[in-house]
Amino acid sequence: MVDIRKTASAPAGASELFQLLRDGQPRTRTELADLVGVARSTVALRLDALMDLGLVAPVEDAISTGGRPSAQVALQTDTRLVLGVDIGASHLHVGLTDLSGTALADAFRDGLLVSAGPRTVLDAVVELATTVLAEAGRSAADLLAVGVGLPGPVEHSTGRPINPPIMPGWHGFDVPGYLHGHFGVPVLVDNDVNVMSVGERETAWPDVENLIFVKVATGIGAGIICNGELLRGADGVAGDIGHIRVASGEELLCRCGNVGCLEALASGPAVALKLQAAGHSAEDSRDVVELVNRGDQDAVRAVRQAGRDVGEVLSACLSMMNPAVIVIGGSMALTGEHFIAGVREAVYSRSMPLATQHLQIVQSASGPDAGMLGASMLAIHHALSPESVDGMLAARVG
């Protein structure tokens, strides 16, 4: 016998119906029929299609006011999954999350330099992904999408890195295509700080419409949430504050080839160089954090000044964007209040009172998970979009 559900076209409006259920709120078929203005029988056909995809499922019956209780359906968050991939200058973090963004398993690899090249790094990503899938008792067949954050500029339309200063060999590399070849699902790629800003906003500040996330580590960059949406700009480089020229760094050569960039003055490696000149053993951000946490006063002063330098640039951003929250993340944020105090000092002293009267400047709540969680959110947003759901429905009956 032929299953006519597999040969008929996808029920028109199933994707629209799904968007109503994305909030996780259980609803009865009658409620859904009233919301979309169609018959209950039509809703039933659409729900059957969505259930076949593992996107919605029956839940506990609604409370009855008399008679038989009404059956409810809701978003099914744990049948289909996504991978979130955070690629740093010297680390990989791969996490498996459900469709609510809850992490089911993750794996971290330290010491793998992004400069090793795209194939070496992405093969390691595949290896870690295999590990987390096995740990969660799941398979690649359960995946809907993969999100990736890269430590450099990314062309949003293609997901390819463009002239990334710390990623030799990555320019123009087809990251989405390479990973799609392994996982067989859509791969979304963006700049790591954009990804972190999405993750931080979703997990810690869901009601905040205007937010700037600043990552200070090997490099410096900002992700901007404006009116609830990620602001990428015309070519995807909005927020690249690390290469804004600052007066106090005018003699410093930046790895981008220019002189006087904020990154050359206030990034983790830049602070480490200053401490080396003062006789300390410091090679990178981690060494700086360790010195600060041990109470070394040279390190504390250097970190606070780096915060002031970043805050000086942010004060200009504040006048343009008027965010409600500035979140400081990246390895330098692990120095705690020392770095953030410097940022606050510069921002509050250089900005108009109206722009700062309600402003909060805080450390990232997501910490080292910000990149992975943000990449997962990137994947979830794509996977559950109307276009993606329509595509899955079409493939189901194709």
pLDDT along the chain (398 residues), means of 10: 36 82 90 88 90 89 53 91 96 96 96 96 98 98 98 92 93 98 97 95 94 95 96 88 88 88 95 93 92 95 97 93 96 93 96 93 93 96 93 80
CATH 1.10.10.10 corresponds to the domain 4-76: yes
In this chain, the answer to whether the domains covering 81-196+371-386 and 199-366 adopt an identical fold is: yes
pTM: 0.88
Domain ranges of the chain: 4-76, 81-196+371-386, 199-366
> Can you give the pLDDT at residue 13?
82
Residue with tokens 């480490």: 272
pLDDT of res. 397: 66
Cβ proximity of 124 and 92 under 8 Å:
yes
Q: CATH number of the domain at 199-366, please?
A: 3.30.420.40
Answer yes or no: are the C-beta atoms of 203 and 101 closer than 8 Å. Answer: yes
By residue count, the chain amounts to 398
Q: Please give the pLDDT value at position 237.
A: 85
**Pseudo-torsion of CA 296, 302, 308, 311, nearest 10°?**
-90
pLDDT at 8: 40
Q: Which of 23, 22, 148, 154 is nearest to 92 (CA)?
A: 148
User: CA Rg, the chain, in Å?
Assistant: 24
DSSP state of 366: S
Neighbours of 83 (CB within 10 A): 29
DSSP letters spanning 105-120: EEEEEES--GGG-HHH
Tell which phi-psi region holds residue 111, choosing left (phi > 0), alpha (psi between -120 and 50) or beta: left
Selection from 185, 139, 190 nearest residue 164 by Cα: 190
Cα 260 from Cα 249, distance rounded (Å): 4
Whole-Å CA distances, 69 to 60, 64, 176, 310: 10, 5, 47, 59
Tell me the CATH number for domain 81-196+371-386. Answer: 3.30.420.40
Contact 242, 219 (CB under 8 A): yes
